[in-house]
Structure 1
């Protein structure tokens, strides 16, 4: 798929899938590095600076998330700076690009926590909406193993409510919210190495893994350099170190958008912990 096609689909639908941006050897290396990093968690079950864990349906501890992988292994940092990914991002958010965050979400076979429908803008508001999330499929993604789903066209709608009746941030859209048209759900499927791009207002989520195969995705979250984050205090040295292309000057662009901060929260900043307290869900619970 050529860049113009990716951008056209993204603008129209709030997401785009791209095959062939990575070479076969890069995909193989991505899988091998992830296997090696995961092996370092053997025997562990308590949260560490690198790993979050969950318990599968057979009572075994499995990795739920690798946190900030761009700091864990140089290969992930190189992936965040991949020229073909940046080429797409430049067409979407401009030439000056900062990596906001990275993570690897992992759904173990026959389990893996569902992530309820949500919008990233609810978690990560900036001074303007020049942000984009890139999802790199480490394994083949299928509906059966919990492929991410998006609601096509939802990026053209409003920021929906992600707080409960007591005013606490719960990180999910309530079932039945009229702003979430589930009939427009599209599964983002493809072989390992497939890459998806989605808009910060695109509603998305994923179900449990019903298959015997893992589903691992490297998420790379980007912002235009002049989109200043409104949800965390900036350490300037670290902030500048995450520039992946262009100039990280200190000027900021401000545009009118609806912003509701992801506070107060009962469970920190992890979406898994925040959504663990939900009273109502769209997706089934593993088990």
Structure 2
């Protein structure tokens, strides 16, 4: 369970890091699964329903930047999110009834690892209320040099920035020139493997390349209050209800809150993971940094 100080910090800053949630056994098991998944990527050449590949991926030298919906790929990732250790924290932050909105495993290989441009998760999936958060599971130590998540304190109580490109289409990235002050206040979410971060769905964040000689694997889960309904609609109600993790059962009475919203339409021409979506952005901080360093 969280302390009152941790809960207050989440409410104030829009994020917290909680150390020591996972055991060494948990970490070893997840790392073994990840190693197998990377090895299996030797059999593919393009993105598929499980793999999002890094530029430069080959069968001889597999490079994976994301495993899509890992909780559906291996039980170890499903068990972690449903453990009482995690459920207790979620009850403290978003109430007694919530569902799993999605999951992903972002992987940054040593000396590279694709960056993620500045954005708010809320821009990708606005709901009827914003009692929604993302959990980051530190499978590896997170340090300043291996591309940790960077979050801007208090930004979850501010505006929803424009995530559209010059063509008017959603690109999932904010022009860094619009948030110079905010970027200057960003805080790195660092900690030892086994820690977990929790950040609000409207928190402004991004992450740079991995400059270290160590991998940086971050397992992410998106969790929403059961009465938060996606504004883009629910194409499959049965699947939507099946994602309920804890609570009194499904509801068809969304809770409406006075929160700022931008709809992520028109859709990007290149759809897929956030990496594909952000490739359409013309102003990108980390892409420019990578180009300047080359």
Q: Does structure 2 retain, via aligned residues, the 8 Å contact 1:7–1:88?
A: no
Residue in 2 aligned with 1:271?
A: 274
State the shift of 1:111 in Å.
Answer: 0.9
CA, structure 1 residues 48+197, in 2 after alignment: closer, same or farther (shift >3 Å)?
same
Structure 1 unaligned spans of 5+:
none
Q: Secondary structure at the match of 1:32?
A: helix
Question: Any conservation in 1 of the 2:100–2:243 contact (CA below 8 Å)?
Answer: yes
Contact 1:120 1:200 in 2 (8 A): yes
* Alignment match, 1:30: 30
Structure 1 counterpart of 2:67: 66
Is residue 2:8 matched to residue 1:18? no
Give the structure 2 partner of residue 243 of structure 1: 244
So what's the TM-score if we normalise by structure 1?
0.93
Match of 1:285 among 262, 266, 290: 290
Task: Give, in angstroms, the shift of residue 233 of structure 1.
Answer: 3.2
Return 5+ residue gaps in structure 2 as ranges.
Answer: none
2:152, 2:185 within 8 Å by CA — same for their partners in 1?
Answer: yes
Question: How far is 1:102 from its partner?
Answer: 0.3
Bigger drift between 176-185 and 158-167 goes to 176-185
Given the two structures, how large is their TM-score scaled by the length of structure 2? Answer: 0.91
Alignment-derived partner of residue 89 in structure 1: 90
1-structure distance, mates of 2:180, 2:235: 33
Distance in 2, matches of 1:212 and 1:114, equals 16
C-alpha distance in structure 2 between counterparts of 1:209 and 1:232, whole Å: 36
3-state DSSP of counterpart to 2:222: strand
Which structure carries more helix by proportion? Answer: 2
Q: Is the 8 A contact 1:98 1:223 kept in 2?
A: yes
- The CA RMSD measured in Å over matched residues stands at 2.0
Query: Paired residues, what number?
Result: 287
- 1:16 is paired with a residue of what secondary structure? strand
Residue equivalent to 2:202: 201
